[in-house]
Amino acid sequence: MNGKPNPRTWNRLPGRGGRLARVLVAAGSIATVLSMSAAHASAASGTITLTETSYYTSSSSGPIYGYLTTLFNNFEKSHPGIVIKREDIPNSPQYLTTVAAEASAGTLPSVLMLDNPMVPTLASYDVLTPLSTLGPTAIPTLGAAQQAESKFNGTIYGYPLYTNTIALFYNKAILSAANIQPPTTWAQLLTDAKALTNSQHYGIAFSGENCSGCNVWTFIPFLLSNGGSLTRLTTPQSVQALTLWAELAKEGAIDKDFTTWNQGPPEAAFAAGKAAMMINGPWFFGTLNSVKGLNWGVVEIPVNTPGQDVVGPIGGEVWTIPKSNPATEKAAFELLNYMAQPSVDAALGTSTGDIPTVRAALPLWSKTASPLYQPFLDELKHGFVRTSTLGVLYPRVESAIGNGIVSAVIGKQTPAAAFSTAQSNVNSILEGN
């Protein structure tokens, strides 16, 4: 569902279990919606209560949950009169279902974290506060590409405080045993993945399921680095990218079950030594580091022709302020600006496993950050904001392309035919049908 499809929830779940969590969480979300309305009714005199909703929960989110507790406590100390009440919901499709229900009931929290592709959708319903109405924003302090994440129709609706993308992870032991260097081109990737496939492990693993933040998110670097486009799928550049994926599947270099995988199962396979390489994001660094005897590296995603720039899809969450009343919105804006301070943003980056977006935070963050982040930083120089041109239509276009990808990799259609079908579906979406 996001660039970083709820890694913190999913990365503990083996196999296709990710979907299990989503179903389980549905019940919980409903309970949360019911309890929300009560919370909004309380408006203590004198103090302003900010309700905050993110998908960082104590049980599923690792260091970021604890760091936010510290951050909010510090903020409350330095801002007497403002109290923060957390109403977090585990990440799943039901996070958005809950947000949608709250938006239609007018009970959105005062501070709402959204996966970045969802910002245009929410903003288009006029439920988010344009931040410039609250004062000067911290957006100019962010990296150029990340600034785009916060915008819908040129208006700023939130702070993208940390970011991520995906790169190629490789198992050092397996590659050196086969005397193979990490691939840099598609041709090498295909040859190496085939050579690294045996009864013990597949050559590569990545997400191939058609779900939010799954196969299309993983496919974007291949598509865009080669000059393809999400809205021009029948060009040779686009079809070439899909052909590479279809070849990997046809040659058996990837577990063909990957069409049922979100971002979790590839990590499980790679961590267990059942895949020599994988495409995934830095949010798994913590989990991979805890696997005993696993020695791994990261390189940029291979390109078709040497010299092409790797385009990384830009992941990460955006902190927004739903419309409520001027006093609450102002207090929420103070909180967001507090979070955008370089030292705070650096810590947010560290505790999410992502990369801080405030430029002045980067040097602070990189003091402790692993050098393995370098390929991600390089790819983000040519980062791609998924909603930059498609806006509110992105989720549907993503689903149409996702079907095309699956159709080609299972051999139901040739890559050209699959993308031709997908193109006509995309056209019909763009025409407003």
Chain positions contacting another protein, by CB under 8 A: 15-17, 19-20, 22-24, 93, 96-97, 100, 103-104, 121-122, 124-125, 127, 202, 209-212, 255-257, 259-260, 269, 274, 392, 395-396, 399, 403, 406-407, 410-412, 433
Q: Give least dist CB 192 to another protein, A.
A: 19
Residues 314, 302: Cα–Cα separation, whole Å? 17
Q: Give least dist CB 103 to another protein, A.
A: 5
Longest dimension (CA), the chain: 70
Which residue, 210 or 280, is less far from another protein as judged by CB? Answer: 210
Which residue, 301 or 406, is less far from another protein as judged by CB? Answer: 406
Q: Give least dist CB 254 to another protein, A.
A: 10
Closest CA to 385 of 289, 284, 312, 279: 312
Q: Cα 266 to the chain's mean position, in Å?
A: 15
Which residue, 322 or 375, is less far from another protein as judged by CB? Answer: 322
Cβ atoms of 132 and 124 within 8 Å: the answer is no
Which residue, 12 or 396, is less far from another protein as judged by CB? Answer: 396
Q: How far apart are the first and last CA of the chain?
A: 23
Q: Give least dist CB 98 to another protein, A.
A: 11
Residues 299, 311: Cα–Cα separation, whole Å? 13
Residues 426, 429: Cα–Cα separation, whole Å? 5
DSSP secondary structure letters along 117-150: GGHHHHHHTT-B--GGGGS--SGGGB-HHHHHHT
Q: Give least dist CB 353 to another protein, A.
A: 26
Which residue, 21 or 331, is less far from another protein as judged by CB? Answer: 21
Residues 222, 408: Cα–Cα separation, whole Å? 15
Residues 310, 226: Cα–Cα separation, whole Å? 9
Closest CA to 408 of 233, 285, 247, 174: 247
Q: Give least dist CB 125 to another protein, A.
A: 5
Which residue, 326 or 411, is less far from another protein as judged by CB? Answer: 411
Q: Which strand (E) or helix (H) includes residue 377? A: helix 374-380
Look at the chain and count its residues.
Answer: 433
Which residue, 16 or 359, is less far from another protein as judged by CB? Answer: 16
* 3-state secondary structure at position 392: helix
Q: Give least dist CB 308 to another protein, A.
A: 29
Crossing angle between the packed helical segments 93-105 and 17-41, to the nearest 10 degrees:
20
Which residue, 260 or 352, is less far from another protein as judged by CB? Answer: 260
Q: Give least dist CB 59 to another protein, A.
A: 18
322: β partners: 128
